[in-house]
Amino acid sequence: VHGTFESPSRAGYTGLWYSVELEEKQETERDQSRIKKEDQANGIVETVSGTEGTVVKAERKKQTERAPLLYDLTSLQRDANSRFGFSARRTLSATQSLYEGKKALTYPRTSSRYLSGDMVPQLVPIAGTLLPIREYSKFAQNVIDLFDSGNEVPLSRIVNDDRVDDHHAIIPTDVEHDTSDFSEDEQRIF
């Protein structure tokens, strides 16, 4: 059960509830001990919502993580399967619809996970089309701010002309996106 907690000494934070007995187990055993029944999770939420608690243990780790590569069709299908349980065909169908019907994504049948250098000037306009979409507005603004800062933008991880053949990675297009017009599958893929 993931929860949002308030604290008088710091801003709210998110945390993960698990039983105290799991404290001593290895991380992999914790993953196997996840709550699998919705009613059990809802019972925990109902019991603890609005109550006070005590932080028994807090851990802070500094980590660096490389940004993931962009999607090609295969990596998008894998991710959609692990996140949403989508089959490869279901993912392709939603992606193809977003490309052909909604003009929201670029060509989906690509094997490249990179952009070509000539696409860099289009990244800010593309980010601009994502600003009105609540789920993406913060990230889109970060992209725009990064380009506007005058500092060098770290694009070497995603821009590589040598790794782009006929089609670049799957990205949003630079047209306005009306996500309320998207099916549930299209919203998830987008």
- Inter-residue contact 182 to 136 (CB < 8 Å): no
Measure the CA–CA gap between 2 and 14, rounded to whole angstroms.
7
To the query of whether residue 107 is one of the catalytic residues in this protein, the response is: yes
| Structure token digits, residue 131 | 């600003």
Query: How far out from the chain centre does Cα 172 lie?
Result: 14
Among 13, 107, 114, 136, the one annotated catalytic: 107
Q: Which residues are catalytic?
A: 107
